[in-house]
Chains A and B, each alone.
Chain A
Amino acid sequence: MNQEPNHPMVQFKGVVKRFDKLVAVEKMDLDIARGSFVTLLGPSGCGKTTLLRMVAGLEQPTEGDIFIKGRRINDVPIHKRNLGMIFQNYALFPHKTIFDNVAFGLKYRKVAKSEVKARVEGALELVRLPGYGNRKPAQLSGGQQQRVALARAIVIQPDVLLMDEPLSALDENLREEMRREIDNLQQMLGVTTLFVTHDQREALSMSDKIVVMKDGRKQQEGSPEEVYNESANHFVADFLGHSNFLNGTVIGAEGDATRVRLENGGELLAASSQQWFPGDKVEAVVRAQKFQILSDLEVPASRDMNSFPGRIIERSYMGGEVSYFVEQRDKTVIHAMSMVRTRPFRRGEDVVLVVAARHCRLLPKT
């Protein structure tokens, strides 16, 4: 439908943003494919919002170029970019009715009156708010307001949908519902979406691609499975999910796996796609969910299983699963999570944490 379909929808080339001396975004290169759902994930202050605002035209890059459909847009003012934007606090115009809010963007696109009506009503139906046109934003709940904001953004058929933490103002239950709604809508319309969040669950559940950021730098870029299971560095592994980090030194290879001597004297066998050499300082990453918790009587004796005996010092019930903190003999603590069993372990009980080699990954210790 566009003249040059080979270009990514959005492209960053060496984009840098500085506020006075503070660097918000550092040398960013990123392609966002047509129709994809890309999430910028990171803690607050990592530059993800700044990046989004540069696409929107609300901030100017200090260096580098941004392209939309292959066209450099650095100097294109915001109102000529054809983007749909969703804000954290909805940003519905309080003095306009829902209908006028949704119709706002069409007014500047020379759409005939009769068509405006049809399209606005269509958009409101899409977000399951038909017949709400005459109300004012203040009469709607937070979730409804965000759905109107969504309708307002998609009714103009934007090239890119930009969402800046759109769910964080909603309460927990609503957030889940809204998350699915955005996801469905995006798939149905096939609109390229750039989503900003600090919530890993949102990122993992919705995205085609996740870009993990920290201090203005891209830490890793990949599918949700990639960034979760094959975290590129300590930060990504730590930010996504609950990870344990065990420091050690490589002893040698054992088949496909690598054997590591841990700092506390124990040994660990870790699957590794990478080649390690004896003496390499490494950090083994083990997700809390990957541990099996056994009482010390039922330990299997298997070569490729790692076991960590210890005592439960803290235990918290979290509904579907139980979170345990197990103290080893050398006082280091391992965090393990497991599905609720018929008999949960109690605090003070001696247990053994078991984890298969393939669930242990090695990262270079820096």
Chain B
Amino acid sequence: MFRISGWSLIRLYTLLVYIFMFAPIVAVVILSFNPQQFGSFPMQGFSFQWYLKLVQNEAILSAFKNSLLLGSLTAVTVTAVAIPAAMAFVRYDFPGKNTLNTLLLTPIMIPEVVLGVALLLFIRWLQQPKSFLLLLMGHVVITLPYVLLVVQARLVGIKRVYEEAAMSLGANPLQTFKEITLPLLTPAVLAGMLFSFTISFDDVTATLFWATAQNQTVPVKIFGMLRNSISPEINALGTVMIVLTISTPLIAGYLIRKFARGGTIN
């Protein structure tokens, strides 16, 4: 008699979970090459026409530009804030340190809807219009905790003796930071930038509240398009998004490994 062991059940279960998670994504990718207007299997033929349409769609192209610009600016701004903040939290003592640290990390725990509404209300209270700057501010708030955590973790791992040695040799605190701490921190800084870029590039919920007609991002645009119809163009756009969000960290990881040989610390 065929016996069902516990392990084979777990394997089956895992397999089902993966299918459940990835099958829709795979379907999107496959259907993006479908020449028909209404996607159904089996596909009849293979074509790049939806990608071609995508490239010709001004609205989508401009959304793409917005997303890329917003993601890059978010990444730069966030690291510029996170590095000094992490230095302060890890290397120095000051009153209210823990409170401030927790405060900066809370956006992780607060639902994005709440964050979205809150920032809108805040802008309203300041009597400012919705703008690209607001969007940038929002994305910085959302991504800061992730970058802060990554940079802090790395900074804890960089032993103080390196800095102490540098200072004993005559480097002042600023020179020590530039020559020793920052170079040793670089992998975390790059990882943090990637994180923030990807999160910003992907975000829908909060961005829906903050985006205006002029500065829509790709995910928001897709959301808008879905309300009208399920155009196969969306499949193509989705595929592009998938490729971008997966390949960016992979490429960056490869580059970091390639350039940071011998830069290990322990």
Contact = CB atoms under 8 A, between A and B. Distances in A.
A19 interface: no
Contacts of B45: none
Contacts of B161: 87, 89, 91
B184 A95 contact: yes
B171 A104 contact: yes
Nearest to B164: A58
Given A57-B168, A94-B262, 9 more contacts: A57-B167, A79-B173, A85-B164, A87-B161, A87-B164, A89-B161, A91-B164, A93-B166, A95-B183
Contacts of B24: none
B106 interface: no
B162 A56 contact: no
A93 B162 contact: yes
Contacts of A30: none
Top 10 nearest A-B pairs (CB, nearest first) are: A105-B169, A108-B170, A91-B161, A85-B168, A136-B262, A91-B165, A78-B167, A79-B167, A95-B183, A95-B263
B175 A108 contact: yes
Nearest to B165: A91
A259 interface: no
A180 B180 CA distance: 31
Contact of A94 (B166, B168, B184): B184
A6 B253 CA distance: 60
A141 to B, nearest CB: 15
B160 to A, nearest CB: 9
B178 to A, nearest CB: 12
Contacts of A58: 164
Contacts of B262: 94-95, 136, 138-139
Interface string B238-266: 00000000000000000000000011110
Contacts of A341: none
Nearest to A83: B168
Interface size class of B (residues with CB under 8 A): 20 to 34
Contacts of A87: 161, 164-165
B164 A79 contact: no
Contacts of B166: 93, 104
Nearest to A109: B170
Contacts of A107: 170-171
A87 B162 CA distance: 10
B169 A94 contact: no
A79 B170 contact: yes
Interface in A199-227: none
B169 A108 contact: yes
A95 B173 CA distance: 18
B172 interface: yes
Nearest to A78: B167
Interface in A10-56: 56
A80 B169 CA distance: 9
Nearest to B266: A94
Contacts of B167: 57, 77-79
B162 A91 contact: yes
A89 B158 CA distance: 13
Contacts of A56: 164, 168
B180 A93 contact: yes
Nearest to A155: B169
B185 to A, nearest CB: 10
B161 to A, nearest CB: 4
A156 interface: yes
A310 interface: no
A335 interface: no
Interface in A234-254: none
Interface string A153-187: 10010000010000000000000000000000000
A107 B171 CA distance: 9
Contacts of B173: 79
A94 B165 contact: no
7 contacts: A57-B167, A79-B169, A85-B168, A91-B162, A94-B264, A104-B166, A139-B262
Contacts of A156: 169-170
A93 B169 CA distance: 12
A105 B166 CA distance: 8
Interface string B181-202: 0011000000000000000000
A94 B262 CA distance: 7
Contact of A79 (B168, B180, B184, B265): B168
Contact of A104 (B159, B164, B169, B264): B169
B233 to A, nearest CB: 47
Contacts of B180: 93
Contact of B165 (A85, A136, A139): A85
A149 B166 CA distance: 12
Contacts of A153: 169
Interface string A121-143: 00000000000000010110000
